[in-house]
Every structure is written in structure tokens, then in C-alpha cells.
Amino acid sequence: MDELGIAVVGAGDVARRDYLPELHRLAGRARLEMVCSRSADRAARVAADFGAARSSDDWRDALGDGIDVVVNLTPAPVHGEINLAAVRGGKHLYSEKPVARDRDEGRRIADAAGASGAVVVAAPSVMVFPQVRRAAELLASGLIGTVHSVRALGTSPPPPWAGYDSDPAPFFSADVGSLSDMGVYPLHAITGLLGPAVTVAAMSDRTMDGFTVAEGPYAGRRVAVESDDNWQVVLRLAGGALATVQSGSCIGQPLGPDLELNGELGTIALSLIEGSHPIRVFTPDRGWFEEPVAHIRPAGPDHVLGVEHLVDCIASGRTPIVSLDHALHVVDIRAAAAVSSRTRSFVDVDSDFSPTV
């Protein structure tokens, strides 16, 4: 297969810190062809920094000739519009989370992708992170027996964030918030490893009404917090296990781990962000021990594994593990959590999602 041409749409902090520096690993299979940003100067500068042939201040240019894959790293509120246009245009798609605002928008993207033949991978790509894949192998081996209870964290420190040089406002808009930003990591991991959620109960709160950006190009800007930033979510999974997820942007430094799977015979505990960290395992005969994880990126989340997975699926014709169906199931869980918190009730979730790990 010839190298696929990639257009990265969105040149903010996450793109420049986590994605673009790692795209060179796809050489021979895919190349960075275009960078799009709302700022023409930024698009040109970032394209030059990372070796893209073209740049643009209009994301619609990513739908043109020479582009096979759109990597959508724009702010969350505009994901749906760009994603739908990309797959309607026959472009394969990798989308940062959330892939859509709600189930209806997600179904329109799925229907359009089906009609055009576009392959879609929807972040977060935790199910292809090496530590999660190894945890899946350990679970399948029966090492810790049947899992009945799960504890998980998906948190970020309170804003303002040191070193973040993009506009943070979209993270705190009414239709995004901490559960959509960080809570989705454990929600994807839990449902990907153990199966879909069938019932959700949640409580949430808002701990601040806003904050002032302290540094960078947006220094001095007042950002309103329009969504709850403190969540406790309980899931009943189809297999019977119960899981609790703590999510928020009001927590300085939790002790961790991000995910703790408690089985009848032991425990598996791991980070969902740091792929270089070993998995910790407990069994009665060995006590606690560390299980090393083979990894490429020395620190931080290896998000480009999701783009690589998309490229591999395009080449092989395989169905993505990091699927649109999985992402839409998590969209449904988030919606159910919002209803549960507002109405103080249990909310059932209907899903035809089935893990493919």
C-alpha cells in the first residue's frame, strides 16, 4: 500500500506535545501531508516544524486531494461537524474524544462512514495502549479469577494548568467537562476489558465557577466553568461486575492507580496514561509484584498508537479495536450519568457494543 496522506486538523497543545512528535513512527505507511489551524501563522509554523508539505487556516482543505486520513485534534465542541464532513468526503478518520456530542450525531457519523467506506478510530485509544493490552492478557489467563469489582480514576489537576499554551475554555464548556475529557479513559478501559455497562448511577458537583489563565498567549483571560468538575459514577456491567469511576478537574494529585481490577484470586492495577509504568499485580502465592510493559514512548500517553491502529486497519481491512461503536457506548454512559446526577436515579443503558480485544 502507498503511504497514506495525513491531515492533522488542530495544532494546539495536545497536537504539538503528544501527536505530531510521534508521527514519524508511521514512516513508510503514512506521512504528514497537511496541518490545519484557525491561525494561518500557527498552521504554517507547525507544518514547518514537523515536515508537513502544506498548511491551511481552513479545516475544509483537509477534505481535498492528497489526503487519505483526517486526524481531528480540534476543540471538542466542533468534533462532530468536522468528523461528519470527513467521512462523508470518504476520508478515513481518527477523532480525539468525544467523537460526537450525543448518540444521534454519532449515528450520523457512523452511517456516513458506512456509506463512504471510511474507517473510523475514536479516541481515547486506551485499548491499544500496551499496559491495557497486557492487562487484557492477564485477565484472559485467569490469573486473578473473575472480576466483580473495579475502581478507577480519570482526573486532572485544578486549573489553571502550568505550561498549557492553548485555549482551555472548551474543556469547561457546558457540553464537555471533566467526565468527557478525563473520565472517558477509565470508562473506555472498563467497558473494553469487561464489557458494556447496563446501569449507571452518578453524583456530581461544580467546585468553581471559573478561573484566570496564568500564563501563555491566553494569560489573564477569565474562563467560566460551565460543567460539573467533580464526579462519582457507579456502573453495573453486563457481566455483573460493579465499577466506580472518580472523575474531575478539582483533584490535586490522587494516589492512584488509574485502574484497579479486583478479582476473586487477586488484583491488577495500572496507569491508563503512563504507558511506561509497570502493571502491579497481587496474587496470594506471590503477593504484590510488578509486570513490566513493553513500550515505545518513554513517558506520557502514547496517543499516536491510535493513529497507527487506524493505518493498520486501513491496510489490513480489520475492524478497529478502538471502534466508533465503543466510543458511542461511552457517549451513552456519559449521558446516562448526567441524567442520573440530575434526577438522583438509576439510569439504564442500551447497547449493542461488544469488546473486540
* The pLDDT of residue 353: 87
Domain boundary assignment for the chain: 4-124, 126-304+327-348
Q: Could you say which architecture CATH assigns to the domain 4-124?
A: 3-Layer(aba) Sandwich (3.40)
Residue 29 neighbours by CB under 8 Å, 6+ apart: 1, 3, 4, 311, 312, 315
Strand 242-248 to 287-291 pairing: unpaired
How does residue 213 score in pLDDT terms, banded at 50, 70 and 90?
A: very high
- State phi, psi for 11 to the nearest 5 degrees: -125, 40
Residue 124 neighbours by CB under 8 Å, 6+ apart: 97, 184, 185, 188, 303, 306
Cell triple for 165:
499554551
Superfamily the domain 126-304+327-348 falls into: Dihydrodipicolinate Reductase; domain 2 (3.30.360.10)
The per-residue pLDDT for range 120-139, each reduced to its tens digit, is 999 999 999 999 999 999 99
* The pLDDT of residue 265: 98
What pTM value is reported for the model? 0.96
How does residue 4 score in pLDDT terms, banded at 50, 70 and 90?
A: very high
**What does the mean pLDDT of the chain come to?**
97
pLDDT reading at 2 higher than 80: yes
Judged by average pLDDT, the poorest of 51-55, 128-132, 260-264, 351-355 is 351-355
CA–CA distances in Å: residue 227 to residues 50, 73, 166, 198: 35, 21, 19, 25
pLDDT reading at 256 higher than 90: no
The per-residue pLDDT for range 318-356, each reduced to its tens digit, is 999 999 999 999 999 999 999 999 999 999 999 888 887
Q: State the average pLDDT over residues 75-88.
A: 97
Rg (CA), the chain: 20
Question: From the CB of residue 283, how many other CB atoms can be counted at a distance below 10 Å?
Answer: 16
Q: State the average pLDDT over residues 232-239.
A: 97
Cross-sheet strand order for the sheet of 242-248: 287-291, 279-283, 267-270, 259-263, 147-155, 242-248, 230-237, 197-205, 347-348
* The pLDDT of residue 355: 87
Report the half-sphere exposure of 45 (CA within 13 A, side-chain side): 9
pLDDT reading at 357 higher than 80: no
Percent of the chain topping pLDDT 90:
96
CA–CA distances in Å: residue 20 to residues 23, 48, 118, 124: 5, 12, 22, 16
* The pLDDT of residue 97: 97
Q: State the average pLDDT over residues 131-154.
A: 98
DSSP bridge partners of 72: 9, 95
Q: State the average pLDDT over residues 28-35.
A: 98
CA-nearest of 78, 75, 66 to 2 is 66
Judged by average pLDDT, the poorest of 1-5, 168-172, 176-180, 220-224 is 1-5
